[in-house]
Amino acid sequence: MNNDLFDVTIIGGGPVGLFTAFYSGMREMKTKIIEYLPYLGGKVSYFYPEKIIRDIGGIPQISGEKLTENLIEQAMTFDPTIVLNEQVLDVERLEDGTFLLTSHNGAKHHTKTIILATGFGTLKSVKLDLPFVEEFEESSIHYAIKSLARYRGKKVLISGGGNSAIDWANELESIAEKVTLIYRKEAFSGIESNVRRLMNSSVEVLTPYQLIELQKSEGKLSNVVIQHMETDNQREMNIDYLIVNHGFHINLGQIANWGLAMLDNTIQVDHTMSTSIPGIFAIGDISNYPHKLGLIAGGFNEGPIAVNSAKQYILPDEQLVNLFSTHYESFKK
């Protein structure tokens, strides 16, 4: 087991976990990433491959897919060990203070420290609960957009009022023949600037409405019926595609039972990204601390802090110096 002892094991291979692996490599720490999905990239690569991201410094705009590709390339700089298709279930602290992780398939992972970068855990879209839903989920009803081109020249109805629904409505406005967005409340919960853009666009916005019926013709989804939440007035709409953004079911799995201090299904950390268990750190969406910045860019800051804290945990008597990629010998030409 000593030959397989890692300095840090990052649980989660999304954007924040990937950048953390890069920084860990610069710190010359033996690094492993364990990812539940069969690929790296997390929810960005799965749910938002074509979504344009604009809130990372120095990158005016980039698609989720391209960002993921870049992060994977960057993370591989120092050849971390990558483990896919494994969900970590249990942790055990050994007599020497190291940790032994056990995955769902019985695999064991020995590590000095752990950095949790799981996002909100495993995410499953909240499904629409209406007759015929399952019949059309692969063809006309979607919970995530994989290709914007599929909606070109089509009539698209989006149901939801959060950031995802608003973002997709804005993105599809110039592509689809018509975009309609319905939400069961009057006020949207998305970012103010995106809501303002939506309201100034050609997207038809209907509030407060909900879906109550799906209609099919010749084996295809042809129409939907929506109902006003207050007056019960109904309206029938002809559509080609229905995009449902009603949120996610969040499941941290066994990690929620590790004895970590929790708050609102997230893990509480201090300014060093340390959890209530020494040697275990949390970053990204799963971490919770005052004035947290819930952006990918915020997670990119948390990762190096956690790595530095992990290094200090392993070598408590060593004084860490500031680390910059411009100073790293192998990057100099």
CATH architecture of 2-123+249-331: 3-Layer(bba) Sandwich (3.50)
Q: How far apart are CA 115 and CA 27, in angstroms?
A: 15
Q: How far apart are CA 13 and CA 4, in angstroms?
A: 20
Asked whether 26 and 325 are in contact (CB, 8 A), the reply is yes
pLDDT at position 193 over 90: no
Domains 2-123+249-331 and 127-246 share a fold: yes
Asked whether 161 and 243 are in contact (CB, 8 A), the reply is no
Instruction: For 234-272, write each residue's pLDDT tens digit.
Output: 999 999 999 999 987 767 778 989 999 998 889 999 999
For the chain, give every domain's residue range: 2-123+249-331, 127-246
Whole-number pLDDT of residue 330: 66
DSSP 8-state symbol, 89: E
pLDDT at position 333 over 60: no
Q: Count helices and strands (H / E) in the chain.
A: 7, 22
Q: How far apart are CA 146 and CA 116, in angstroms?
A: 27
Residue type, 48: Y
Instruction: For 275-317, write each residue's pLDDT tens digit.
Output: 999 999 999 999 999 999 888 899 999 999 999 999 999 999 9
**pLDDT bracket for residue 2 (50, 70, 90):** very low
Whole-number pLDDT of residue 332: 54
pLDDT at position 1 over 50: no
In this prediction the pTM is 0.74
Q: Looking at residues 102-118, what average pLDDT do you find?
A: 96
Q: How far apart are CA 213 and CA 220, in angstroms?
A: 14
Number of Cβ within 10 Å of residue 23's Cβ equals 22
Instruction: For 139-187, write each residue's pLDDT tens digit.
Output: 999 988 878 899 999 999 999 998 889 989 999 999 999 999 999 999 9
| Of the options 3.90.79.10, 3.40.50.1820, 3.50.50.60, 3.40.50.1370, the CATH number for the domain spanning 127-246 | 3.50.50.60
Asked whether 243 and 120 are in contact (CB, 8 A), the reply is no
Distant-in-sequence contacts of 250-253, Cβ < 8 A, 24+ apart = 250/120, 250/121, 250/122, 250/123, 251/121, 251/122, 251/123, 251/124, 252/118, 252/120, 252/121, 252/286, 253/87, 253/88, 253/89, 253/121, 253/122
